[in-house]
Structure 1
Amino acid sequence: MGPGDAGCVSAERLASELQMFGLDCEEAAYEKLAELCPLYRRTEDQLVAELVAFSNNTGKVYLTLENLASFENEFLNKRRAKARHGATKKDSGHQGTWDIVSIQELIEVEAKEETLLNSYTTPSKGSQKRSVSTPETPQSKRNVSATRSPHLLFSPSSFSPSATPSQKYSSRSNRGEIVTSFGSTQGMSWSGKGGSGSLRVKVLDASRAITGPYKSMFQKLSDIREVLTCRIEELGCELKELHKIEAFSPISVPAQEPVTLLGQIGCDSNGKLNPKSVILEGDREHSLGVQIPVDLSELKEYSLFPGQVVVMEGTNTTGKKFIATKLYEGVPLPFYQPTEEDGDSEQRMILVACGPYMTSDSVTYDPMIDLMSVINRDQPDVCILLGPFLDAKHEQVENCQLTTTYEDVFRKYLWMVIEGTRSSGTHLVFIPSLRDVHHQPVYPQPPFSFPELQKEDQKRVHFVSDPCSLSINGVILGLTSTDLLFHMGAEEISSSSSTSDRFSRILKHVLTQRSYYPLYPPFEDTSLDLEHFYSHAQLPVTPDILIIPSELRYFVKDILGCVCMNPGRLTKGQVGGTFGRLYISRQPAHTSERKSPCTAAQVVKI
């Protein structure tokens, strides 16, 4: 049997890695190697590194089944035994607590450590109730408490020398305060069923979803131009049909009569857009991409931002300047029509939270542990967690104070959340952020990868891309962790006699421009891959609920029939922030009159 017959891809990778280090195996040993990886929780690279160390120590360069048995007994089993007795990462070539095979072993190790520490303590003055433990009669509270306690699942001291809880966060006094509400929230119990019943959580149009990392920064200028042009033409065609426009005129041709132009809003310089710097970049079919300055003085109401596809009517007597007199507004896409395959129309509870999940002065994830307590208490059907999970703007990340890799910290965090919420049965949806220091910083962003996910969790744990259109029993949620409200709010200009607020205008643009990120050029810290953007960041339908977290103030609004929520961030610097919760209940399939599936929503202090 050759390396390719081992039954899984890992055997092929092991064979190539071993050959690179000058090691060879007999044919029957490849299958044994493939079994050792999941058995001892090793990746191919980690197992090969340990095989190289074993070979250097023993002088065995040809690995037989007998040699592998020796490697397993003398090398792997000894390291596992050290981990069970509380060995630190310095005692092993595999860093961190991942040497411990199961969560129960980690609980036992930490319980033994606490028991040993308690045996050397004495009661404080005035405390007569505390019993003194001795090594002969150990008493540990961890043995009595629930084995799924989040505090046992995560030990930040393993990757930070200053893992102390935030004093400001722990001393907050407004826990559980409801800061805004939407819909009929009177008498709501705000408890779910833990994902029981026929709950179906899936990505809408999964065939077009991003499933893994991709190469970015390889875009050709011609391809970028093609994407922008196609977007202008597609929206222009919809606007032309909607407003019954006969034809679009070319930008550069003077006309004495009023003309209608199609194009994209831009700025005439590198600065911020203002009413005097607006230009219109024409489409390819009618204007060959020619640009023209726009005079907005005749427009009574407008709301414009760079990248916005618009149809304008006005005069262009010289071909050098366009005086706009009318701005045609777009319309959103139709809503999704549920079918019998989407499951029942039973009322479901959804909890939504956005990172950071730790305060800026600590790495203890106390806010996330408090959120997990809410999850286990209320048992929502679905919990949507948006990044950042390990924030690139965190003090200890910026100052390089972490003692282990970003990936290790994140994986321990995931492990904590998944294990700590298993008893609730809640479906978990993880969405990355461009601020996640351990993940690919490109928009659209591929989903997280977590190969250590156990089989029992695979049905309830979902890793999706940013952005994502998610279907929960036929109710469509538009999800993005990118702070689009802040990005567009810094660029949008408007003039209006009405009292519409900026949030509502921006959200309306998102729906009518039919894109999760209609701003172009993008915000200065956003790396945009336009080819994948065109395929994966366009709205397939108008979502029933749009989750759009931001640094700006939390809200819940109904915009053109879509319920838009900014749940805020779970932490704000050193203090606690907010999270959101919703009740959804869609109408049965084939119902003609549409009603909002979001029956109630609240934003709550953590």
Structure 2
Amino acid sequence: MGVVQDEELQEEFDVFGINLNEQLIDKYRVADEWLAFSKARKDIPISLENLDLFDREKLAKKTQRTPQTPLNKRTQQKVYNINNVSEGVDISDAENLYNTYGGTPSSKGTAAQKRQLTPDNPTIKRFQNSTRSPAVPFSPASFSPMGATPSKKYSSRTNAGDVITSIGNVDNAKWSGSGNKCTIKLHDPMENMSPEEKDSVKDLCQDFKYMFQKLTDKAAVLNEMIDEMATQLQEKHSIEEFSHVALPVQEEVTLVGRICCDSLGKMNAKSVILEGSRDTSAGRSVPLDLSDLKQYSLFPGQIVAMDGTNTSGQKFVVKKLYEGVVQSLPSCSNDKDQISSNDMTVLIAAGPFSTSDNLSFEPLADLVKHIRKDKPDVVILMGPFVDLKNDLIENGKGISPLDDIFKTKLKEISDVASNDCQVIVLPSYRDVHHDYVYPQPPFFHQSKDSRMKAKTDYPNVHFMPDPCVVDINNVIFGLTSSDVMFQLGAEEISFNPPGASDRMARLAEHLLTQQNFYPLYPSPEDVNIDYEVFEYYARMPCTPHVLVLPSDLKQFTKDIQGCCCINPGRLARGQAGGTFSRVQVRGGAIVSQQSILSSITAQVLRI
């Protein structure tokens, strides 16, 4: 057999459009591979069948291997000059430059990065420096006049003023204000405390300091919440006593505790456990078998009671579930059976107040026009005002300091406020210029001087914490700017017959049955809860007449346990316009612990 020349091989492969040089075929390597392959199979002869087997088992595996990057090869450092500096410095280069000037190097492979996260709880990017401004790549674009270009998508909308949802009789509703000054009073959880007790509690509305929470104090608060709910469940359902969660018993018993997940992932029906209190169960927990329940709705942090059996002490088979207790509606403040209330109109809007692609605040400007036109008695504005999720803020392309942006827009809001049109302002944990903690102190809380200056600079504007309970003309409003509805929906598991449950109403009802504004535990990584103040400021003293829960979920107005629950939506949704709500409360007698829904008309409409 003659020797085949390289030129002949090239000609044959050219027929199939294959370049031998590009394919990097080494004839000597192929010969060595065939020799080893043949010897391993007792000197099998060369044939088409054996060559096909050789190709599948040896050559194909060799070519599929991913080439390794040389260990000693270093990536060339990019050099910036006048022609390419406008493109911006890479984040890693910016961090290295920051570290060169004494910054703390970013650690690689931290425990937080290795932690298992679920897609429902993505980590929020909040990279800031010591001046509370976002640390961003160095670029002349950071100092260019950007952010004032109006959003084309917002300006081209055609559905402004459309009503999304409503409750009550809207035919005879009058949305203009009454012209009378409303009385506004913030519920103070320390109102009935002794001076000694007040000294041991942090005041959220004063010079509030956080990040001093001890694990023992946090555990005590969480345990006390179980004990308080256990007492109410026991009274409502006439339960004789609660058993130890991990005690093996043959007869049916009743347990009480907090719903938890047995791992770091999203909870499912097979991973639910019940954590008991210190008093009844010494803090022990037990897995739950929910297969016998015909209907349930559970989320991590929910405090429940349940009937069932635990024959082995290893798993509790649930037969009946008690999902919290709804408190009574507000009692009259004058210790009588009823109290009078005047007509009033309330406008409610939640941020962001600018579209995500700019900082021109067009939706806020349109809302201010609406306020000037209708002059509602009270305007409730909930953050974020300077949204950390805004594209320009996140990328560091704003032209002004963050505090200045907020104060400028707050001045525009204050200009429309008056004695007969008062404004309530709540912060949000998405406000990049404010304290990143929940419960969240009001704006300008840092010192007595700052609070006095805010009253002078912004008259008729009331700065409230998040969350809060507010008495407006004897009508109790529960307010929170956190998107607890969305976060509960991401963690909740439920099993309900088709059409048996309204998901939005069910999520809102969880807050009423758990008696606090944020019953989810543990919270997502972007919500930092201080449980020392949570115990006092996040608990609901009663079921409010009106509960406002702004969320990215679908807007609604619903009657839930006699409470008017409203999701006004966001004033801006991405680059498009969003929604806001308006509420009319007709004057008359407010009966103690009775619903006033018959006197309420509410709408959610597009900006």
TM (normalized to structure 1)? 0.71
The corresponding residue for 2:235 is 241
**Shift in alpha-carbon separation, 1:350–1:359, aligned structure 2, 3 A:** same
Q: Does 1 or 2 have the higher relative contact order (CA < 8 Å, sep 6+)?
A: 2
| Cα distance in structure 1, aligned partners of 2:480 and 2:391 | 25
Unaligned runs of 5+ in 2: 1-141, 192-202, 445-449
The corresponding residue for 1:418 is 414
**Shift in alpha-carbon separation, 1:572–1:213, aligned structure 2, 3 A:** farther
Farther-moved stretch of structure 1 (386-395 vs 424-433): 424-433
8 A contact 1:570–1:578 mirrored in 2: yes
**Shift in alpha-carbon separation, 1:302–1:370, aligned structure 2, 3 A:** same
The corresponding residue for 1:409 is 405
**Shift in alpha-carbon separation, 1:339–1:220, aligned structure 2, 3 A:** closer
The superposition leaves residues 204-231 of structure 1 with CA deviations (integer Å, 9 ceiling, x where unpaired) of: 2364662135222222111111011000
Correspondence list, 1:71-90, <5 A? none
| Cα distance in structure 2, aligned partners of 1:189 and 1:508 | 29
The corresponding residue for 2:487 is 487
8 A contact 2:288–2:316 mirrored in 1: yes
8 A contact 1:376–1:423 mirrored in 2: no
The corresponding residue for 2:430 is 435
The corresponding residue for 2:540 is 539
| Cα distance in structure 2, aligned partners of 1:474 and 1:186 | 25
Q: Residue 446 of structure 1 is aligned with which of 423, 441, 452?
A: 441
| Cα distance in structure 2, aligned partners of 1:589 and 1:174 | 37
8 A contact 2:417–2:461 mirrored in 1: no
Correspondence list, 1:352-501, <5 A? 352-419=348-415, 421-422=416-417, 425-449=420-444, 451=451, 452-453=453-454, 455=456, 457-458=458-459, 460-497=460-497, 498-501=499-502
| CA radius of gyration, larger in | 2
| Cα distance in structure 2, aligned partners of 1:340 and 1:286 | 39
What's the offset of the Cα at 1:336? 1.2
The superposition leaves residues 141-183 of structure 1 with CA deviations (integer Å, 9 ceiling, x where unpaired) of: xxxxxxxxxxxxxxxx999434111111112111111111110
Give the letter aligned to residue 445 of structure 1: Q
The corresponding residue for 2:164 is 179
Q: Does 1:526 align with 2:527?
A: yes
What's the offset of the Cα at 1:193? 2.6
| Cα distance in structure 2, aligned partners of 1:526 and 1:241 | 33
| Cα distance in structure 1, aligned partners of 2:432 and 2:348 | 22
The corresponding residue for 1:280 is 274
| Cα distance in structure 1, aligned partners of 2:152 and 2:510 | 41
Alignment root-mean-square deviation, CA: 2.2
**Shift in alpha-carbon separation, 1:185–1:527, aligned structure 2, 3 A:** same
The corresponding residue for 2:137 is none
8 A contact 2:428–2:482 mirrored in 1: yes
The corresponding residue for 2:30 is none
Correspondence list, 1:291-302, <5 A? 291-302=285-296
What's the offset of the Cα at 1:331? 2.4
* Secondary structure of 1:238 counterpart: helix
**Shift in alpha-carbon separation, 1:319–1:160, aligned structure 2, 3 A:** farther
| Cα distance in structure 1, aligned partners of 2:538 and 2:427 | 14
The superposition leaves residues 230-261 of structure 1 with CA deviations (integer Å, 9 ceiling, x where unpaired) of: 00000001001111111111122210101111
* Secondary structure of 1:286 counterpart: helix
**Shift in alpha-carbon separation, 1:251–1:351, aligned structure 2, 3 A:** same
Q: Does 1:337 align with 2:312?
A: no
* Secondary structure of 1:523 counterpart: coil
**Shift in alpha-carbon separation, 1:265–1:160, aligned structure 2, 3 A:** farther
Q: Residue 311 of structure 2 is aligned with which of 311, 317, 328?
A: 317
**Shift in alpha-carbon separation, 1:603–1:535, aligned structure 2, 3 A:** same
* Secondary structure of 1:526 counterpart: coil
* Secondary structure of 1:490 counterpart: helix
What's the offset of the Cα at 1:340? 5.2
**Shift in alpha-carbon separation, 1:189–1:480, aligned structure 2, 3 A:** same
**Shift in alpha-carbon separation, 1:598–1:516, aligned structure 2, 3 A:** farther
| Cα distance in structure 2, aligned partners of 1:252 and 1:488 | 28
| Cα distance in structure 2, aligned partners of 1:595 and 1:343 | 12
TM (normalized to structure 2)? 0.70
8 A contact 1:434–1:482 mirrored in 2: yes
Farther-moved stretch of structure 1 (213-222 vs 517-526): 213-222
What's the offset of the Cα at 1:496? 1.5
